Amino acid sequence: MTGAASADKPSSADKPFSANKPASDDRPASADNATSDDKAASGDKAASGDKAVTKGTQPRVAVVGGYGTALVFAVDRSPDRGETVLARSLFADHGGKGSNQAVAAHRLGAEVSLLTAVGDDAFGESGRRLWRDEGIDASTVRTGHLPTMTGAILVETDGDNRIVVSMGALSELDASDVDAFVEHIAGADVCAVSLEVPVAVAGRALALAKQLGALALLNPAPAVGVPDALIAQLDVIVPNRSEAELLTGRNPGAEPDVLVDALRERTPAGIALTLGAEGVLVDSGGSRRLVPAVAPHAVVDTTGAGDSFIGALATALACGLGMGAAAEVAAAAASYSVGMPSVVPSLPRLADLPPRLRDRLLPGGVQRQ
């Protein structure tokens, strides 16, 4: 496999990318303070560059993205064109990439604030109840005129899924909502943004993150075109294969290294290209390596794997881990999530991660560079 073969391929700029936050007296724990095993295993520099991350403090993540209700149909297989199939069961679940990622980050120890929009309806109130129960700051969530985003998810017996979404109230978000969220971005270590919100909203949030010193992380999902000006200002981008193909104009089936090379032409950001069971191809600007996937005990439902990965990655980066080390944590979180049905119930807590990875996120743990 090309990705594995090029695990140690160097890129042109052998230096960490930076969130450009002014340094303070509370510097990240240096590699010299890490154990020799941690230093050897790290293999990459801190994603936060010269951004100060204080050892032993709670990581802070601001999330800008979607919330909606997912209507989940369990089917033996998805229908072909013009065909009707009967579902074995139907249930309503919390959905939306932003909300899922916020819950995932909080369960792994981050202090999380969320910007999204919901309708003035039962689905919207269900979301607010979820965030209260989970301990997520949703004080700036907008109540729109349109209904809460709703998605239909077909989950097949092998765990694969198909999703159709109506965006609803999310389409009403605008730059003024981001400006009302600015204090949360300013107080965050990482600002994680996905594209269920309008691209202009995503761009405003990422621009403020760069300006205010938070790590600007984009999960370009759902797959839509992203302007050059937006993608050029990122610190971290986390696409899957199909999203990377859209962003780069490469044909379906392009090799992972080809996709990462093409992304590198558009952005200086750290890149984590998720490849499902093949792992994650990580390019931190100074090195490239394949982080293996973690084999799950069983594949029950893959719906929440991507959001579990993003939430865990954002938390790990907020703790001061480098791209590769953070991707290892995120891969374990994603693996846990596919072994359980539904999304929110499948998002792991710290105790669900392997001890060697869990310790990286605990206060006082080794902050690997």
Contact 339, 295 (CB under 8 A): no
Contact 153, 176 (CB under 8 A): no
| 190 vs 213: CA distance, rounded Å | 9
Contact 99, 131 (CB under 8 A): yes
Residue 36 CB neighbour total at 10 angstroms = 7
| 369 vs 359: CA distance, rounded Å | 15
Q: Which two tokens stand for residue 254?
A: 């392009």
158 has catalytic annotation: no
Tell me the sheet residues that pair with 191.
62, 216
Give the 3-state secondary structure of 153-198: EEECCCCCEEEEEECHHHHHCCHHHHHHCHHHHHCCCEEEEECCCC
Catalytic, out of 133, 307, 352, 359:
307
Q: How many helices (H) and strands (E) does the chain have?
A: 13, 14
| 268 vs 287: CA distance, rounded Å | 13
Q: What is the CA 109 to chain-centroid distance, rounded?
A: 15
| Of 153, 147, 97, nearest in space to 122 by CA | 147
Catalytic residues: 307
